Amino acid sequence: MNKDTLLIAGKSYNSRLLIGTGKYKDFTETQAAVEASGAEIITIAIRRSNIGQNPNEPNLLDILPPSKYTLLPNTAGCYSADDAVRTLRLARELLDGHSLVKLEVLGDPQSLYPNVVETLAAARTLVADGFQVMVYTSDDPIIAKQLEDIGCVAIMPLASLIGSGMGILNPWNLQLIMDRVQVPVIVDAGVGTASDAAIAMELGCHGVLMNTAIAAAQQPVLMASAMKLAVEAGRMAFLAGRMPKKLYSATPSSPTSGLIS
């Protein structure tokens, strides 16, 4: 059997767990969690620099060197296509021409639900500008297909709201998306604990992206290890093919003959 890898925009990854770097106590914890997770694709955000008021501020890129990880700059906090495009052009300059990005255009600050109209517009601009776009979106299969048609290299639907930890609330919608698109489908947002990640993978999702589920755990580094195993276990279970569900089991696991009398 060929090695089971995640293929995104022509590049293979061994890990199907993608993690964010927000909300950690400090960079030491961020680094330890990233290591424990085994993730190869790591999301980062782009924000205004200090302008002299804090010259010795540590830099995230020093602990997560682009030579070691595939850094995935995001557009978190952007509410319009224009802001998202500007942010990713800055990210590309910051990362020396790196073109793989995570697009997310939010709809409102209460739900952080995606604004799919702005997302579609931004995706069109970015793809035309040479970006390889992994896109956070709703679990709408029609929008997912449109994003693929535009040229996005991965479709990343939410499983529940960002940071909610509510788990996989939409398995049937995820299935509808997977039935329609050819590019990898990666659950982005909603995972709360290891079993959620396993469920996403058992459904056949190609990967899981998470941040808060690890960063907000009581012991983030331990949770990062748990997520690594859960994603691997879920993937293996998907490949193995689960037994059919039956309300009654009329086939005992043990022999029905040779019983003592």
Q: Which residues are catalytic?
A: 102
Which residues in the 216-255 window bind other proteins by CB under 8 A? none
Which tokens belong to 260? 């003592």
Is residue 37 a contact partner of residue 214, using CB atoms and an 8 Å limit? yes
- By CB under 8 A, tell whether 98 contacts other proteins: no
- By CB under 8 A, tell whether 122 contacts other proteins: no
Which residues in the 43-82 window bind other proteins by CB under 8 A? 43-52, 55, 59-62, 71, 73-74, 76
Could you identify the residue written with the tokens 């580094």?
221
Q: Taking the complex as a whole, how short is the minimal distance between the CB of residue 210 and other proteins, in angstroms?
A: 8
Count of residues engaged in binding other proteins, rule: CB under 8 A: 38
Q: What span, in angstroms and rounded, lies between the C-alpha atoms of 176 and 142? A: 9
Is residue 197 a contact partner of residue 225, using CB atoms and an 8 Å limit? no
What is the dihedral sign for C-alpha 177, 119, 88, 50?
Answer: negative
Q: Which is nearer to other proteins, 29 or 175 (CB)?
A: 29
- By CB under 8 A, tell whether 125 contacts other proteins: no
- By CB under 8 A, tell whether 207 contacts other proteins: no
| Separation of CA 21 from chain center | 12
Is residue 222 a contact partner of residue 245, using CB atoms and an 8 Å limit? no
Determine the interface stretch with other proteins among 41-49, 223-231, 238-246, 253-261 (rule: CB under 8 A). 41-49
Determine the interface stretch with other proteins among 5-13, 17-25, 151-159, 239-247 (rule: CB under 8 A). 17-25
Beta 70-73 vs 17-20: how paired, if at all? unpaired
Best CA proximity match to 188, nearest among 154, 222, 218: 154
Alpha helices in 165-215 (DSSP H): 171-180, 194-202, 212-215
Encoded one letter per residue, x for contact with other proteins by CB under 8 A and - for no contact, window 153-192 reads ---------x------------------------------
Q: Which is nearer to other proteins, 73 or 234 (CB)?
A: 73
Show Cβ contacts of residue 117 under 8 Å, excluding neighbours closer than 6 positions: none
Determine the interface stretch with other proteins among 14-22, 178-186, 220-228, 232-240 (rule: CB under 8 A). 14-22
Q: What span, in angstroms and rounded, lies between the C-alpha atoms of 213 and 42? A: 15
- By CB under 8 A, tell whether 88 contacts other proteins: no
Please give the residue ranges that form the binding site for other proteins (CB under 8 A). Answer: 20-24, 30, 43-52, 55, 59-62, 71, 73-74, 76, 86, 89-91, 93-95, 162, 209-212, 215
